[in-house]
């Protein structure tokens, strides 16, 4: 009996030590230089510390918190199935009084065209002779079915929706460069496959950019966790590690997406003051211009050009690159219509609208270099969400350091005490057994005579 008891105690101690051992799991460490980024992770962290407060003020403003989106457009590729199982999937529409009349007119544009030589401009336009005025994405601001949404009232969080097939379709379409609106196109295949930059040998940077946005989404839904009843939970560290933290490539891609988006915003230096954001509220308009100016100024003073834009053109000349990626981005906006979780669709469209704005700022010419109000909203919200993710990544690292300290302390103090206690119990039990006088078991005859 005492052997069983000592074995049970040993098992309990071993289980305890293994339990605290599991807490040693930690994120991949990303530091120094990253491929295609012309600054270091440490510098990006400094920039993030400087600009994050500006981004929070901007996304809380009337202009940048109201986004127009169509959440009812049918999926053009397959019969979209499945619904969320919690109330966290639904989106609350703005009340009529929340939306300024200026936003409803859908006629605001922001000219972000770079100064180019006339020969370069002619070459780009002649290379894309059959493109529509805007082929980067499906514009929803003029859509009669589109609604206005207050982003702050519809927080980005875990909804229990499994969007792996959506991301697989985005990666497959983007890397194979085969956009197709045919419902039987076979786009929805092999959802569980792990993608990597090797899947996009012609343009790995484009893959990494999409992967960075994917990592950003995962950081948000693991940080803002909820249970099935809709009650908030602490940040889900285990889920974060599984989806992002254990994958160094994904973390590096997050920083790449951050640096490219920041590069696009830095490119607006000297222009943001010329834009009119809220014409009927001069004071709010001026405050927004000042905040945008401070955002760009604080970024540039650390690093003016955080992204190596020339890396995008290693596989193709600039003009051919633009020709290839425009239909890819347009196709992604159609794939997002296949998301059956309203909130997931909202934030997917918001962030890819922002990414489209980034590409238009960096490479758009003529009419296509004019951003709509929705694209400006998407740009700032994408940058703000990337800033959140970068901050949370470093917070997770600090959390892991704290846990490691506790584990080491536990090993130094608790484990020896438990070991001594176990040995004492085993000794006590064994001594008790030895002290007990031997008594032979009663035989059948003994029982009969009793």
User: Is 220 marked as a binding-site residue?
Assistant: no
Closest CA to 357 of 261, 222, 239, 283: 261
Mean pLDDT of the region 343-357: 92
What value does the mean pLDDT of the chain take? 76
Instruction: State both tokens at 80.
Output: 């979209």
Instruction: State both tokens at 405.
Output: 């300290």
Q: What are phi and psi of 76, to 5 degrees?
A: -85, -5
Segments of 277-317 assigned E as strands = none
List the chain domain ranges: 39-410
CA atoms of 139 and 372, how far apart (whole Å) = 9
User: Is 250 marked as a binding-site residue?
Assistant: no
- pLDDT category at 439 given cuts 50, 70, 90 is low
User: Is 136 marked as a binding-site residue?
Assistant: no
Q: Is there a contact between 390 and 223 (Cβ–Cβ < 8 Å)? A: no
Specify the 3-state DSSP secondary structure of 91. Answer: coil
pLDDT of residue 215: 95
Q: Is there a contact between 332 and 354 (Cβ–Cβ < 8 Å)? A: no
Mean pLDDT of the region 218-239: 86
Q: Per-residue pLDDT tens for 159-212? A: 778 888 899 889 888 876 543 433 333 333 333 345 565 666 667 788 888 999
- 114-118, 159-163, 290-294, 316-320: the lowest-pLDDT one: 114-118
Question: From the candidates 38, 75, 175, 341, which is the catalytic residue?
Answer: 341
Burial class (CB in 10 A: 0-12, 13-18, 19+), 295: buried
Residue 344 is a catalytic residue: yes
User: Is 243 marked as a binding-site residue?
Assistant: yes
Of the two residues 88 and 252, the one the predictor is more confident about is 252
- 100-114, 300-314, 434-448: the lowest-pLDDT one: 434-448
- pLDDT category at 81 given cuts 50, 70, 90 is low
Give yes or no for residue 122 having a pLDDT over 80.
Answer: no
- The string of DSSP codes covering 100-162 is -HHHHT---EEE------HHHHHHHHHHSTT--S--SS---TT-TT-EEEEGGGS-----S--
Share of the chain above pLDDT 90, in %: 24
User: Is 68 marked as a binding-site residue?
Assistant: no
Of the two residues 23 and 103, the one the predictor is more confident about is 103
CA atoms of 79 and 170, how far apart (whole Å) = 17
Mean pLDDT of the region 362-381: 80
pLDDT of residue 188: 37
Segments of 157-313 assigned E as strands = 225-226, 232-233
- 75-84, 371-380, 386-395, 439-448: the lowest-pLDDT one: 439-448
- Apex 378 CA angle, 92 and 355, nearest 5: 130
Share of the chain above pLDDT 70, in %: 68
Question: From the candidates 75, 94, 303, 344, which is the catalytic residue?
Answer: 344
């Amino acid at each position: 009996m005492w052997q069983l008891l000592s074995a049970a105690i040993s098992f309990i101690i071993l289980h305890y030590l293994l339990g605290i051992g599991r807490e040693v799991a930690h994120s991949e460490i990303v530091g120094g230089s990253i491929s295609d980024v012309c600054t270091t992770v440490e510098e990006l962290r400094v920039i993030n510390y400087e600009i994050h407060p500006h981004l929070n003020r901007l996304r809380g403003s009337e202009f940048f918190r109201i986004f127009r989106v169509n959440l009812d457009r049918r999926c053009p590729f397959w019969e979209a199935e499945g619904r969320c199982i919690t109330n966290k999937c639904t989106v609350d529409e703005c009340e009529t009084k929340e939306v300024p009349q200026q936003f409803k007119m859908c006629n605001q544009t922001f000219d972000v065209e770079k100064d180019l030589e006339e020969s370069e401009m002619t070459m780009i336009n002649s290379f894309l002779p059959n493109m529509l005025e805007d082929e980067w994405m499906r514009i929803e601001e003029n859509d009669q079915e589109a609604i206005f949404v207050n982003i702050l009232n519809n927080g980005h969080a875990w909804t229990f929706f499994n969007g792996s097939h959506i991301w697989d379709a985005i990666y497959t379409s983007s890397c194979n460069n085969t956009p197709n609106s045919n419902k039987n196109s076979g786009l929805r295949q092999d959802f569980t496959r792990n993608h990597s930059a090797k899947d996009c040998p012609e343009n790995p940077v484009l893959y990494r950019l999409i992967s960075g946005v994917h990592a950003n989404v995962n950081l948000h839904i693991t940080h803002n966790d909820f249970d099935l009843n809709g009650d908030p939970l602490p940040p889900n560290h285990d889920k974060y590690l599984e989806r992002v933290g254990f994958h160094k490539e994904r973390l590096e891609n997050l920083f790449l997406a951050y640096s490219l988006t920041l590069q696009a915003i830095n490119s607006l230096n000297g222009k943001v003051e010329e834009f009119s954001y809220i014409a009927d509220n001069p004071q709010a308009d001026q405050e927004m211009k000042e905040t945008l100016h401070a955002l760009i100024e604080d970024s540039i003073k650390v690093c003016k050009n955080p992204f190596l834009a020339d890396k995008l053109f290693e596989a193709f000349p600039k003009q051919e690159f633009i020709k290839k990626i425009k239909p890819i981005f347009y196709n992604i906006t159609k794939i997002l219509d296949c998301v059956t979780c309203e909130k997931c669709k909202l934030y997917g469209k918001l962030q890819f609208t922002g990414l489209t704005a980034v590409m238009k700022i960096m490479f758009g010419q003529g009419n296509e270099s004019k951003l709509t109000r929705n694209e400006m909203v998407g740009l700032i919200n994408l940058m703000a969400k990337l800033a959140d993710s970068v901050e949370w990544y470093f917070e997770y690292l600090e959390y892991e350091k704290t846990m490691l300290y506790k584990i080491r302390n536990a090993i130094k103090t608790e484990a020896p005490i438990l070991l001594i206690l176990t040995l004492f119990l085993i000794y006590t039990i064994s001594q008790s057994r030895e002290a007990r006088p031997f008594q032979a078991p009663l035989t059948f005859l003994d029982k009969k005579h009793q």
